[in-house]
Amino acid sequence: MVARIADGAMGRVYEGRHYESKGRVAIKVLHADVARDSVAVERFKREYETATEMKHPNIVRVIEFGATPEGLSFMTMEYLEGEELGHVLRRDGRVEISRLVRVGSQIALGLEYAHSFGFIHRDLKPDNIFLCKGEQGETVRILDFGSVKLQMDTGPKLTAFGTTLGSPYYMSPEQAMGKQDVDQRTDVFALAAILYECLTGKIAFEALNVAQILIKIINGNPVPPSQRGENIPSGVDDVIDKGLRKDKTKRYPDATSLAGAFCAAYGLDADPKKWGDTPTADIAAALGTAQPPAARAFGVVSDPPPAMSPVGSPAAASAARLSSAGSITDRFSQVPGMGTNQTVKLGIAVAAVAVLALVTALLMR
């Protein structure tokens, strides 16, 4: 190992040299406490096994998997130079549209390839999208397939909330409700939420705690992008609206359909492959002469709003418990000896129970 590159919740990443090729590699090593968690280790192993089956320019390439003399699992990957999309958003707030057309198209192409194997990422988020530097623009690498689900089912199921269901901000409604029938449209929802954030600088379903985030994902709709950012065509509102539909059957059927519609909303050809390969400067030039089409108002062909639960009903009571889950976890964070990780895990567990209570109550109405 040469130098430490980054630290994450699961492990630490080092720069190193491959013992045979002597080429630069990234070495991801699980933290010692994480290595004691069988679910985390299985997720890590699944990330490696999944990535080895996929050879695509927009998916990170993995090289080998093993264990250190201390028994810590590690994985070597291609060495990437650049930064995570999440870092870009935290630093800059938004992403320039010419840059986003190229990046969004490449994300969609990588997802389409993974989906062709039956792999559903399930934890797509800005921090899992790496932007490699290049002369013609950035090249995307999708990271962390540890939460992957194979539609034709495979191997042991990872059931820990938060490790398989995805990051709360980008979870689809079906994930938020704990449903098992997730498919590629779960990743479509996450990509739509990412595009929304890149355009507006705001998280689509933002709230103070996990419970409130889940409520918004299940029942709420974000402010239309054109009302939160400048020079966003109204057609983009329709595209994001369809990508974030609560009913997955009403979303775009796949990621490239979403990306194509997004390009078309700016007056470009609905061809993610074309724009994923086009230099950013050329995309900017094309946008300068493009004529965005007129569009419907945001949400016109959207899902009907959920019926209001009468005060005192089981569903209303469950919703009240769910909205207060954050304050419960806040109180636990004051307990001596409760570390940050323990508090977060407890908060997620409380939110999960509350969501299940809400769904159960609604089904019993």
CATH number at residue 58: 3.30.200.20
Domain range holding 94?
82-289
Which of 33, 37, 123, 282 is catalytic? The answer is: 123
pLDDT of residue 22: 65
Find the CATH number of the domain harbouring 90.
Answer: 1.10.510.10
Nearest to 174 by CA among 241, 247, 102, 270: 247
Residue type, 255: A
Residue 93: inside a domain? yes
Output the pTM of the full model: 0.75
Residue 299: inside a domain? no
Query: Could you tell me which residues come within 8 angstroms of residue 100 by beta carbon, excluding any fewer than 6 positions away?
Result: 195, 198, 199
pLDDT digits (tens, 9 = 90+) for 221-259: 999 999 998 899 999 999 999 999 999 999 999 999 999
**What is the domain count for the chain?**
3
> Can 127 be counted among the known catalytic residues?
no
pLDDT greater than 50 at residue 115 = yes
On whether both 211 and 250 belong to a single domain, the answer is yes
On whether both 23 and 96 belong to a single domain, the answer is no
pLDDT greater than 50 at residue 158 = no
The residue whose two tokens read 């797509």 is 124
On whether both 67 and 93 belong to a single domain, the answer is no
Residue 197: inside a domain? yes
Higher pLDDT: 315 or 215? It is 215
- Pick the last residue of a domain from 255, 289, 323: 289
On whether both 143 and 238 belong to a single domain, the answer is yes
On whether both 253 and 329 belong to a single domain, the answer is no
Residue 131: inside a domain? yes
On whether both 71 and 102 belong to a single domain, the answer is no
Residue 326: inside a domain? yes
pLDDT of residue 300: 44
pLDDT greater than 70 at residue 202 = yes
On whether both 67 and 92 belong to a single domain, the answer is no
On whether both 121 and 134 belong to a single domain, the answer is yes
Q: Which two tokens stand for residue 46?
A: 């699944």
On whether both 74 and 92 belong to a single domain, the answer is no
Average per-residue pLDDT for the chain: 79
- Pick the last residue of a domain from 289, 324, 349: 289
On whether both 103 and 201 belong to a single domain, the answer is yes
On whether both 231 and 272 belong to a single domain, the answer is yes
Residue 294: inside a domain? no
| pLDDT grade for 181, boundaries at 50, 70 and 90 | confident
On whether both 342 and 208 belong to a single domain, the answer is no
Residue 296: inside a domain? no
Least confident of 84-88, 129-133, 144-148, 293-297: 293-297
The residue whose two tokens read 């007056």 is 267
Q: What percent of the chain has pLDDT over 70?
A: 72
List alpha helices for the chain, DSSP H.
32-35, 38-52, 85-92, 97-116, 173-176, 184-200, 210-219, 234-243, 255-265, 272-277, 280-289, 314-323, 325-332, 340-363
Residue 306: inside a domain? no
Nearest to 342 by CA among 44, 47, 33, 74: 33
- Pick the last residue of a domain from 54, 78, 102: 78
Query: Could you tell me which residues come within 8 angstroms of residue 201 by beta carbon, excluding any fewer than 6 positions away?
Result: 89, 93, 94, 228, 229
One-character DSSP codes across 187-222: HHHHHHHHHHHHHHSS-TT--SSHHHHHHHHHH--P
